[in-house]
Every structure is written in C-alpha cells, then in structure tokens.
Structure 1
Amino acid sequence: MDSAPADAPVAIGGRLDPATILGGYRHGTYPMPAATAADIEVNHALYEDSVASGATVVLDSPLPDPYALVWWSPDPRPVIPYGGLAKARSLMKLLRNRLTWTTTANQDFARVLAECRRDRVPEWLTTELCEGMMVLNELGWAHSVEVWEDDELVGGAIGIGAGEVFVLDTCFHRRSNASKVALLDMEHRLAGAGVTLLDVEWDSDRSRRLGAGPLPRHEFLATLARGSDPIPLAGGVEPARRLGFLRTPG
C-alpha cells in the first residue's frame, strides 16, 4: 500500500460479495460503486490516468466495466480516537433536558440501511452493496444503531469494524441532531470492545466537526493490522438522555 495513490482509488474492479467487502475493510480500503452509467463515465474521466500509470490497480472483475467499482484508501486517513467524538455542549444540554428519544442496536439494520440510502447523491449504497452489508450484519461484522421518538425511527447509523478500528460508515436523520445522537450512541456501545480508532473514511468539514483528524495511512494500517476479530456492539434499549452526561477527553 506504500506506493498506492493518496487521493485516487487504490484499485478498480473486483467484486461486491460479502467476503470481498469485508476483506476490503479489514485491509483499510472501502468500496464506492457507481450506480449509473454517468457515474461510471465520471470515474473514467477522473481516474484513467492513475490506472494507466499503474498507480491504481485493476482487479479481476465480473463487471462489464471495472470503473463501475472503485476502492479507496485515502492518505492521510481521517480518524477519531475512541472517546473523542465531538460532544457539543448544546447537544449535551438537549439530551439531558429535552430529548426523550431511545436508542437500540441492530434492531432494524435493513431499515437503517434503506434510510441511509434514500435520496443520496451520488448513490454509492447500491443494491448489491446493501445486500453484502446485510450479510455482514447477520455474521456480526456490521452493526446499526437506531434512534427512536416513541415508535418512529428518526435517526440511525451503520458501522463495521475489526480489531481496534471501527468504521462509522453512514448515518441519517429525520429529526435535527438524530444522526449525531446515533453516532454518539454507537461510540458509547463500543465501550470495552478494544476499539482505539473510529474511521470516518472521507475528510470533510463535517468529519472535522465530528472530531476527525488526519492520520498517516501507514499508521492507520498498522493499527488495523493489530486485530482481525469482529467488534461486538452492546445491545438493549437505552435512553438517549444518558449520552448527555458524556464528555470528550481533555
């Protein structure tokens, strides 16, 4: 991975079966399938030079066009030390004093995934990727958190991890702050699981607001290599209010 591009896909092509998806995550790469022909053409325009130079590897693939699936491993990697997810004072106050939500884990993975997929542009959560993630949830690798307002699902998050690294893969909200609560709940439910890093995959203003900072790829991969077992997520119905008493270390 030392010679892999920092800001282009490390590979194109391959498959989206559950074993390949999991293998990608366990080796520090994640898939971004193209949902439309237009998306595939964009990938051609952006990455053909990297492929031609040999920097981006072309994987054996059953796909008619390998540019329909790209694999990323950015350098540096945006990560949050475990426990360091941002805990804004205003949100903590809302949780303690006003929000009456409850949270669950892995109660409705399929529905959270569908909500995360809805209205996303570009649509990287394709049907094939979602089917693979469903299998990984059944096998204990991928997890969901649900945020409920009475019986209504108002937010949620999906994550997947191995060893010391847990990926905060995607989230959604149907009420203000519900996705933030889902992520906080997910972090809290990982307590005692041995997680040291939360991987947010993409650097962005939002990821920085969550508390992410850059980690050189070789350091990220070294942390990832220290463990390979699936990461458990504590279950049960919990009051979201309990999260309002959390503090960011330091």
Structure 2
Amino acid sequence: MDPRHALAEGVVAISDEVDADLLFEAYSFGIFPWPHNEYDPVLWFCPSRRGILDFSKFHVARSLEKFKRKNTWRITFDTAFDEVMVQCSLAKRPDQTGTWITPRMKSAYSQFHHLGYAHSVECWDGNQLVGGLYGVYVAGVFSAESMFYSEANASKLCVLALVEKLRGAGLTWLDIQMLTPHMKSMGGVEINRKAYLERLDQAKRFAAPISFGSEK
C-alpha cells in the first residue's frame, strides 16, 4: 500500500477481506478501509483532503464546558468497545443510507481491539451507554473512526476525554479522516495528503505506547 499512488478518489487498494494484519499495515501508512457494503470488495483510502484536529486549535464551546461541569455522566475507555461499534453502525447520518460498519468490519476491528490497537471511549448515564467513539492508535497517531450519541453532548464529552488523554501522552493532533460539521465546530480542519503524510512520518519518529485504562 502506497498512499502517494492513490487514485483521484483517494482509493489506494482493494481487497476481498479485512483483518488485523491489513489494518495495521494500512494505518501505518495513513490508509483506512471504507467498504460500501458487506458483499463488495473493501476499498482502502488515503483521501486528497484529510480531516485533522490540531490540539492548538481545539475549541470547546462555553455551553459545553458548563454542561460538563454540571452533569454526572461517567467517561470510560475500552470498557464496551463492541457495543460502541454496534451503536455507531446504527446511528443515523445525514445523506447516508446503510453503514460502512459491516459485520466483517466489526469482526476485524474487534480483533484489532483485543490486540491493543483499537480503542473506545464511552459515556455513561448510570449503567446506560449514551455516547461513544472508537478509533485506532498506530504509528503514533490516533485515527478516530466513528461516534454516536443518544443524549445531546455525549459524543462531544467523549471527544474531550480523548483529546485530554492524547495530550497527556504528548500527542498534538488527532486524525479525524473526514471533516464533519461536528468536528469543525471543535476546531477540525482539512489538510492535503502531502501535509498529512508529513505529519504521520513525524509522529512515527516519536511513537510511544499509550495506557488507555478503563476510567477517565
């Protein structure tokens, strides 16, 4: 896989299957899978425009800060990875029918989680999971894959917790792949492929393990 040879649409490779070995190789080069459905071949992407969240530009609205201080929700890491993936696959997205989080993707990322590369952040109201996100930490970069919420602000609190965790480990930015309005409101921007790959190369030189633990 060589992201510099991506097609105009950002496609780098095509495979019939997806597993932990392929995921590790892909993320090491800034590539991620994005299948259309469960039955077609898996497309692997490194888009020409990449969404990132540079922590120097990270913005938390005052209303969210106020909400965070007052609510009693609990944030955890890596305690309900599979359930977070399920809820992300069920979340309704604007202008999107179906989900790319297919059964084979769930299986591959669950395996990746058990190997210590894929991680989740959960937001709980008592024993009820009300929000979460999951992503991959490989080559010194955390790549956020998807998020969901059933209560307003729950997924945003997960982003806050993740940024705090990554900052504490010495990271300075987060790969968000595609720039959504949700992430743009928190300071996300787009950069070109060359700039992204330069950031990735820099991150690889300083890559170190991160202890995600279970409680924030």
Please give the TM-score of this superposition, normalised by the length of structure 2.
0.86
Q: Distance in 2 between matches of 1:139 and 1:36?
A: 23
5+ long unaligned stretches in structure 2:
none
1:118 partnered with 2:90 = yes
* Sequence identity percentage: 29
Q: Distance in 2 between matches of 1:192 and 1:95?
A: 19
Q: Which amino acid aligns with 1:112?
A: V
What is the aligned-residue RMSD (CA, Å)? 2.1
Deviation (angstroms), 1:149: 0.7
Q: 1:81 to 1:6 in 2, by over 3 A?
A: farther
Q: 1:161 to 1:237 in 2, by over 3 A?
A: closer
Deviation (angstroms), 1:203: 2.8
Number of aligned residues: 208
**Cα offsets for 1:187-220 (capped at 9, x unmatched):** 1122332323211111333332232112221221
1:129 partnered with 2:87 = no
1:167 partnered with 2:143 = yes
Q: Which position in structure 2 is the counterpart of 1:74?
A: 47
Q: Which position in structure 1 is the counterpart of 2:72?
A: 100
Q: Distance in 1 between matches of 2:180 and 2:126?
A: 33
Deviation (angstroms), 1:235: 2.1
Please give the TM-score of this superposition, normalised by the length of structure 1.
0.75
Q: Which amino acid aligns with 2:50?
A: R
What SS is found at the alignment partner of 1:190?
Answer: helix
CA contact (8 A) 2:38 2:102 kept: no
Q: 1:34 to 1:3 in 2, by over 3 A?
A: closer
**Cα offsets for 1:115-162 (capped at 9, x unmatched):** 111245331001111111111111111111111111111111101122
Q: 1:180 to 1:119 in 2, by over 3 A?
A: closer
Q: Which position in structure 2 is the counterpart of 1:232?
A: 210
Q: Which position in structure 2 is the counterpart of 1:10?
A: 12
1:20 partnered with 2:19 = no
Q: 1:144 to 1:172 in 2, by over 3 A?
A: same
Q: Which amino acid aligns with 1:4?
A: A
Q: Which amino acid aligns with 2:44?
A: W
Q: Distance in 2 between matches of 1:199 and 1:6?
A: 21
